[in-house]
Each structure stands twice: as C-alpha cells, then as structure tokens.
Structure 1
Amino acid sequence: IGILYLDSKPSAHKYLRIILQHNLIKVFAPDGGIDTTIPKFGLVKIADIGTAGGLWLEELATALEKVPTKDGTTREFDGFDISDNFFPKTPPASFRFIKQNILTPFPKEFHGRYDFIHLRLLLAALKKEQIPTAVQNVIQLLAPGGYIQWDEWDATANSFVPENEAIQSAWHDNMAFLDRSGFAVDIPVYIKRAFQDQGLNNVMSAQYKSMKDAETAARSRPLIKLWTRSAWNVMMPFIHARTDDGKERSSEEAKRIVDEKLRELENYLEGGGQQSIGMIATIGQKGITN
C-alpha cells in the first residue's frame, strides 16, 4: 500500500512496479477499470489523476473502442500527475499529459470539462486533512452530470491465506506506520465523506476482491505473489527506520529487522501462502445545475 508514493525517486524499477500493480488490479476490477454503474456511452472527455504513464487511460480507451459516443464525437483522454517522469514521449493524438499537483487548483481551462474523472491509489500521497482539498480541486473539473471514481485499497478486505501470526504482525506494522505518518488507512471513508460534503449526487461505494471467486483467485495468485514481495521490499525500510515512539534506529539494527521480516515473508510465500486484497471504488456524480 502506498509504495509508489513513498518510493518517490523515478526509476525503471518503480515503473515496473506500477505496471505490475496495474496488471494485478485488472484481474479483479471491472472491464476498463470503470465501475459498471457508470454509463460509458456518455463519456467523451476523460481525465485520470495520478496517471503516471497513462496505463489506466490506455486500458479505458481500448475498452471504449466498442462503445460509440452519443453523437460520434472523438473521445479525449487527459492524464494529470505531480511528476512528468513517466509521461509517454509520443502519446496518441487523442491523449494529453499535464503536470499538476492535486492540492493546487487546476488551471481554468480544465474546469467543467470532463464527463469522467478517475483517481487511484493516493493513500500514501495525501494526508488525512488534505483529502477534502484534493476532492474540491478535482470536482471543479467535472462537467455538469459528470462522474468521478476514486479507487483505493480496502484495508478491511486484506487477509493472509493461510493465517500466519508473523505475517499478520508485519501487516499491522505497515498499517500503524501509515497511521502515524498522518495517512488515512481507511481512506475510502474520507473520500466518501468529502464527495458528500461537496454536494455530489448518487455517492456510492463498490468493492472488488482478488479472491471474489475461484477463477479470479487463481488468476490473481502469481501476480499477488510478485506484488507482495515488491511492496514489502519498498515499505519495510520506511517502517523500521524508527521505533514506534519515533526514535531513529541505527542502520544496522534497521537492516536486521527488515531482513528478518522479508525472510519470514519469503518463507510464507514459498510455502504457498497468499495475500488476499481488495479495493473500494467511491463513485459520485455532479449535478446538472452544480
């Protein structure tokens, strides 16, 4: 959780993790990454916030190829991110990529423009108190009647199969670290409240699970194994750099603890253990007269 933002230095390894995470989510999320409650034919101008390299935009564009627009208008896809490190060098003609901080008001040219706005996995990018500001800035971009969907990990759906005390303890350390750092472990609750406070209509939540059925679980299994390894390798050094009361550990002590945790994880995974994960999509619609 949050590995892409805590590990903020751009690198080929980081982008490979982005691709891995995206491909894992594709296994259990709806087709095109858009919830089934949102009517696709009305989506012409689309934005993705926190887009990285635009993988989600590309996937949605492909899924929408078989869905005509109401009047035959060509769809437009805009990706926003605080960093342009992973923006495509030569994007398709209908794609644009714009550098933008979600906590700063967007330029007026984008206000009221989009039929659909998507956000995903900003848990470790936004502190609890920043979420209302982010929502306010993004909602300004919605056209009247436009939809917004914000996908985040569902901490309540996380489990380990079979159960393992050492692995559960390490997961608890992860959650406690995020909470101490000011992030909202239960971020879907904050998002839903912010949507409602901003006056969005039809606010709802949809849950997607990696083990929702036997077929999905089987398809998820190899990707989750890789993703769990990757996430823990990034997170553990952050988590154990300090004690629970904030005292800095020596590099030797921190490394010893991290190596032990990673060794326990590896033994668990090699023994057939698996992490079960879930996501919550929070969805809302701007009123026609907003």
Structure 2
Amino acid sequence: MGALYALLSKAWQRARKFLARFSSFYSDKEVYLLDRNPLESSRLNAQHKFLVDLIGGSPIHPSIPTENITAVADIATGTGIWLFTLPAALPTTNTLYLHGFDISSAQFPNQTDLKSTHEFHLSIQDIRTRFPPEHRNRYDIIHLRLLAGALKQEDYPRAMQNIYELLKPGGYLQWDDGDTSVFDTAEDPRSPLAVRMQNIISSAVVKLGMCPDAPTLIEHLAREVGFEDTVRYSYTTLDRPYLHDAARTWLVEVLRSLLPKSMVGSGEVADEKTAVDRAESLVGEFEGHCKDILPVVNWHVVVARK
C-alpha cells in the first residue's frame, strides 16, 4: 500500500509541475493560440488583404447590402485593420460610427495614429460578457474574424447571444473563420509534414476545449439564437491562381505564429522555448516543401440577418 501511495504521489507531483507550466501559457480567463506583440500585429495587418481578397475583395461580404450602413462593430478587432479599411468599401459619404472591441488592448493602434475621418472607437470587451446597454440594438453590421483560435467551444452560445443583442433589427452578422482543415496541400497522398502540423493544431484545439469545426457551429448557433437568412459560404485558394503566392506566404507566417502554443497545448512539448525552436524547424521544412507543391487555404464566412 505504501509503495502504491508513493507511486501515486510521484505521479501527482509530475502532474502538478506540468499544470503549472501549462497554466502559465494558458489561463482560465482566456485561451488564445497566438501572441499579442508588434510582430504579430504586423502579421495580422499583412494577412488582412489576403483574407479580404479570398472572399471577393471587400471587407464586407458581397451578400450584405451596404446602402444604409451607418454603424459598424468589429469584435476581436486586434489592430483594428478591418475597421480602418471599411469606409473605402462603402458607398455612403456620411460619417460612420465605427467601434472595435477586443478582450485586450495590447494591439490597439495609438490614438495619435488614428486618422479616420469617421467616428472611431476602441474598447476592451470580452465577447463572453454582455455588452453595455448603449451598444445593444445599435449596429448595422457586426464583424468577427478568426475566433476559432480564441474561444472555447462552451463559450460560443453565450458569445452568439451577445452578438445578436448588438444588432439593429435587420442588421447583419459576418463571421469569417476556419476549422482545423484551414490549411492543406494540393498533393496525393498528402504530405506527412502537412499532416503532422495539422494534427498538432487539431490536438491542441481538442485538449484546450476549443471547437475543431467552428464555422459549422457558428452557422448552427446563428439559426438557434434567432438569426434569419443564415448562410455559410466556403472558399478555397485551390482554384484561384492569383492567390497562390499570397496563400503560401500566409500559411508560412500563420503556422510560425500558431504552432508554438499548439505544441504546448497538445502536450507535445512542455515549455515555450522548446516549442518555438521545434516549430521554427517544422515551418522551415514546410516552407521548403511549398516551393514544389501548392499550399491550399480553406475559409468560411457565415452571414446572417437579425
């Protein structure tokens, strides 16, 4: 009995050490598979044009009417890049009310850098928490992008309810996101390297309680909460030669950002430094592989009307 107790005690001590390292990388407050630093902000701004081009060339999905838009909110706004580029895509010459929300202000631009001719605001707001009353029933469009790497699956219903409250009757939701098959390669059989990286990310998503098929869940919850005309649009770079180079660049950079925390989250490695070193080696190998094959980005946009 004493030997069994000693064995269990040692196992518990190892588990505590692992959890201590794990919790320093992921807190109960938030799961987020990317960083918030100047380098990541630059990557987010650089990826914006690619993701916009992938869905048709405008920040607003072509299925959404734009004639009478006056108030727009961008949730998980990050650097605010989506909001900054929005006015040029709208036909109105009226002053717009633009509001970006994010759980962290770490990537917000400096106020001195804001040169918008429209009313522009940035606020700290957790999507899982109900928004203040002054924002409810206020917006013509609510936009979100890439929450699959930031929300636990259990948080989506509450988030969707909070989003629904923000829109005016007749207002539109646009949620751009990917699932764990967001990147692939156009080869048969599939590259073991691409499969390995995809498995690392998928394993982290599952172990962290995130959603491996976020676009499908978003579509389902939009209908459940009361949205009408809900449609999930799917896009791929496979048949768009003009996006192949951009897709290759985007994939390499997003994998460089995504893999380290995914490796820790999946349990493949125990500390951040080892994860960064191993991820850099994998990404370098993948970048070399992509010179000879076609990388593919798969993307989804859920559009719904209140």
Amino acid at match of 2:61: D
Report the alpha carbon displacement of residue 259 of structure 1 after superposing the two structures with TM.
5.3
CA deviation vs aligned residue, 1:167-203 (integer Å, no higher than 9, x gap): 2222222222212211111001111111111111111
* Equivalent in the alignment of 1:74: 95
Report the alpha carbon displacement of residue 154 of structure 1 after superposing the two structures with TM.
4.5
* Equivalent in the alignment of 1:34: 60
* Equivalent in the alignment of 2:233: 206
Report the alpha carbon displacement of residue 248 of structure 1 after superposing the two structures with TM.
5.5
Work out the CA distance in 2 between the residues paired with 1:62 and 1:268: 38
CA deviation vs aligned residue, 1:185-237 (integer Å, no higher than 9, x gap): 10011111111111111111112222333xxx33x233322222222223332
Q: Secondary structure at the match of 2:58?
A: helix
Report the alpha carbon displacement of residue 132 of structure 1 after superposing the two structures with TM.
0.5
Change in CA separation of 1:252 and 1:113 when aligned onto 2, cut-off 3 Å: closer
Alignment partner of 1:105 out of 130, 137, 162: 130
Change in CA separation of 1:143 and 1:226 when aligned onto 2, cut-off 3 Å: same
Work out the CA distance in 2 between the residues paired with 1:189 and 1:272: 32
Q: Which has the higher contact order (CA 8 A, sep 6+)?
A: 1
Amino acid at match of 1:188: P
* Equivalent in the alignment of 2:299: 279
Work out the CA distance in 2 between the residues paired with 1:247 and 1:46: 41
Amino acid at match of 1:19: N
Structure 1 unaligned regions, length at least 5: none
* Equivalent in the alignment of 1:224: 247
Equivalence map 1:188-199=2 (5 Å): 188-199=215-226
Equivalence map 1:1-290=2 (5 Å): 5-8=32-35, 10-64=36-90, 67-68=91-92, 73-88=94-109, 89-90=111-112, 91=114, 92=116, 93-156=118-181, 158-162=183-187, 163-213=190-240, 217-218=241-242, 220-241=243-264, 246=267, 249=270, 257-258=278-279, 260-269=281-290, 271-286=291-306
Cα pair 1:155 1:278 within 8 Å, conserved: no
Report the alpha carbon displacement of residue 77 of structure 1 after superposing the two structures with TM.
1.2
Cα pair 2:201 2:263 within 8 Å, conserved: no
Cα pair 2:261 2:275 within 8 Å, conserved: no
Q: Which moved more, 1:199-208 or 1:101-110?
A: 199-208
Q: Secondary structure at the match of 2:108?
A: coil
Report the alpha carbon displacement of residue 247 of structure 1 after superposing the two structures with TM.
7.5
Alignment: residue pair count:
270
Change in CA separation of 1:212 and 1:60 when aligned onto 2, cut-off 3 Å: farther
* RMSD value, Cα: 2.5
Amino acid at match of 1:35: H
Report the alpha carbon displacement of residue 265 of structure 1 after superposing the two structures with TM.
1.1
Point out the structure with max Rg over C-alpha: 2
Work out the CA distance in 2 between the residues paired with 1:133 and 1:251: 31
TM-score normalised to the size of structure 1?
0.83
Q: Secondary structure at the match of 2:174?
A: strand
Task: Give me the identity figure in percent.
Answer: 27
Cα pair 1:76 1:94 within 8 Å, conserved: yes
TM-score normalised to the size of structure 2?
0.79
